[in-house]
Structure 1
């Protein structure tokens, strides 16, 4: 292949001195390494990143046509269904987290991290002590910065997954062992064959529960699917095959009040100027990143079916991170886009976890009540609502 070279190092011994000679030899295409793919360029100024890395959608299409199908391999002579059964035994990825990170070029890209959080259980009452058990083993508990960060984690019940991704030095031994046993060398064998990599990633995409913990990442995942990623990486997967998406939003009360106002403005079909004015007035105390992404929420019914057509389960967890009253939040306004999403796709399973509201102050106009499934008209909902004590 033109531009590809094999570098061989020759060591010449002479007394106590050794010199290295580098010999560049052309390599036939079939001898090129199967993983990863690197675009070599001649000396000089490096081309832009987007010019050397294919986009995720184009990657899957162009790479399949370019790679060797390995038709002589015994593995690819068996039916695809049997190969998928083999892959399922080798790679068991039930959940993955997706977060956005800024690259050195200033462009935000998606990053996939492990999920080690235990499954939800109605029998377990979590009061926060599980986030730092050693703190409660002492006679005089003293909260430190690690415990504070865990309590304020915007990943909610997946706080340990956030810590593993960004603060692994603070993880417990159990968390590190869980991560090691979960990941291990599961993906190492994929480096041997490009075709097998594409097949496994397609299966993983269709069976994995992907977790998102902020609107910026959600918008990046849904609308900016053309962002350049490293070839043959999980980040370059075909997102149209995602079937399960879980969103966790743990924010200040002001954040949810702003979401409610913007959703109400969208429902009333106000003109763009009025909606923009309401949005700017209600977002004055929010972070800049929240200001730029919160308006994305009302557009869920239009963008999710377009960019994630294979979605079959949508799980949403809403909670606030300060001492205040959730009863003032208009749940029905915030979840109106989710309701519209379910109306557009009757096969979509919708599950929402919300803080528990004190029964005497429940209001059907703002809150979802236990008997909503028996109601007729606007009060009837397809959402499966679960309440948590906080």
Structure 2
């Protein structure tokens, strides 16, 4: 007889057990590969999409020589950099978030108690928890059936990828090099010219990360039939202008393959992209006010990219620089004439200026230099 079935704990109704588990399980978790095994960690930044410059990552008074800040600015977890520190046990975030760390330890320990409890908790998690993934390797691992997760109890036979088929909320955060985003513009892995959403075969010479990006959406639509909410956050890992990216190309697979038709329970898909500078936006490449909109079920959100960046000045040696194409517009927020306005409102104002043929930034420079400016904004 199975000794677990004789446990007084497991003799309680599942509803009571789930109420107990709810005190252990956070509302949002990160899944990531660590030593070829799937690890679980609490998400301590459930709403990270504020317009943050990156200055909050400073650890010392002088940010220019702050090595910890430079490392944080390079985080591939993007706005979840604090979550990364907690997950890996590094930096001040680990010390500042000891309650979350303790919860992580408790959750991991409970998952390892036995197969029965592991199964109970995973079934509850896929129904109530938001899963966060910050790399394509983990995402690919989770949506592929019949794989051993490495996290599972020795006798659980790779249960995690199997129950992930039933998860309802998924957040994908990707901070990749510019080359990753530029490749589709060169004709690689785009949707077919038929407009039917068919996907062309990806050439063998395309980097594996881009192959995964191109192919993962069909697998996701096929495997995650219970998915209700999907959120994707994209950005580059350097200070290049986001206007260099063909947004329509990079999102073509997602738009073609993820919909209410392919995922019946889907309620909402949102994609957070960096704020576009109105001077460089192009309707044929970007999702703009005057360009064809994305599918009705897909919402495009925008946020200001970090203005502080980590710059390598010698092999393994980094410094922090403050460089943003929005620097002048950000200065407007400090002027009394624009008090109460948001950056989004100022960007829209500049867009209207460009539509009238007015160089608002040149006028702003003149204003700052007390020379005067050409007219009213």
TM-score of the two chains, using structure 2 as the length reference: 0.67
Residue of structure 2 aligned with 1:145, choices 47, 56, 67 = 67
Whether 1:252 aligns to 2:177 is yes
Equivalent of residue 116 in structure 1, options 44, 48, 54: 44
Compute the displacement of 1:194 (Å). Answer: 4.3
Matched, 1:241 2:166: yes
Residue segments in structure 1 that go unaligned for 5+ positions in a row? 1-29, 31-66, 103-107, 284-290
CA contact under 8 A between 1:219 and 1:293: conserved in structure 2?
no
In structure 2, do the counterparts of structure 1 residues 231 and 216 end up closer, same or farther at CA, with 3 Å as the change threshold? closer
Distance 1:339 1:263 in 2: 14
Secondary structure of the corresponding residue to residue 70 of structure 1 = helix
- 1:386 and 2:301 are equivalent in the alignment: yes
Deviates more, 1:354-363 or 1:247-256: 354-363
Deviation at 1:189, TM superposition (A): 5.4
Q: Aligned residue for 2:277?
A: 358
**Is structure 2 residue 185 aligned with structure 1 residue 263?**
no
Structure 1 residue 113 displacement after superposition = 2.7
Cα separation, 1, equivalents of 2:199 and 2:4: 54
SS in 2 for 1:263: coil
Q: How many residues align?
A: 294
Shift of 1:265: 5.9
Matched ranges for 1:171-250 at <5 A = 171-172=92-93, 174-183=95-104, 185-186=106-107, 188=109, 194-223=115-144, 225-227=146-148, 229=150, 231-232=152-153, 236-237=159-160, 238-250=163-175
Q: Which moved more, 1:179-188 or 1:359-368?
A: 179-188
CA–CA separation in structure 2 for the residues paired with 1:82 and 1:371: 53
Give the aligned partner of residue 298 of structure 1.
214
Shift of 1:130: 0.7
Question: Do 2:143 and 2:165's aligned partners in 1 also have CA atoms closer than 8 Å?
Answer: no
Q: Distance in 1 between matches of 2:262 and 2:209?
A: 23
RMSD over aligned CA atoms reads 3.2
1:317–1:353 Cα contact (<8 Å) kept: yes
Deviations 1:189-231 (A, max 9, x none): 5666643432222101322222211222221222264136254
Assess if the C-alpha contact under 8 Å between 1:301 and 1:344 holds in 2. no
- Trace 1:1-390 onto structure 2 (pairs within 5 A): 67-68=2-3, 70=5, 73=8, 76-78=11-13, 80-88=14-22, 90-102=23-35, 108-120=36-48, 122=50, 125-132=51-58, 134-135=59-60, 138=61, 140-166=62-88, 168-172=89-93, 174-183=95-104, 185-186=106-107, 188=109, 194-223=115-144, 225-227=146-148, 229=150, 231-232=152-153, 236-237=159-160, 238-260=163-185, 261-264=187-190, 272=201, 275-276=202-203, 280=205, 283=206, 291-340=207-256, 341-342=258-259, 343-345=261-263, 347-348=265-266, 349-370=268-289, 380-390=295-305
- Distance change in 2, residues 1:300/1:266 (3 Å): farther
- Normalised by the length of structure 1, the TM-score is 0.65
2:347 corresponds in structure 1 to none
Q: Distance in 2 between matches of 1:271 and 1:380?
A: 20
CA deviation profile, 1:223-245 (whole Å, cap 9, x unmatched): 26413625428974222222222
CA contact (8 A) 2:247 2:285 kept: yes
Cα 1:99/1:230, change in 2 over 3 Å: closer
Specify which structure has the higher proportion of helix: 1
The structure with the largest alpha-carbon Rg is 1
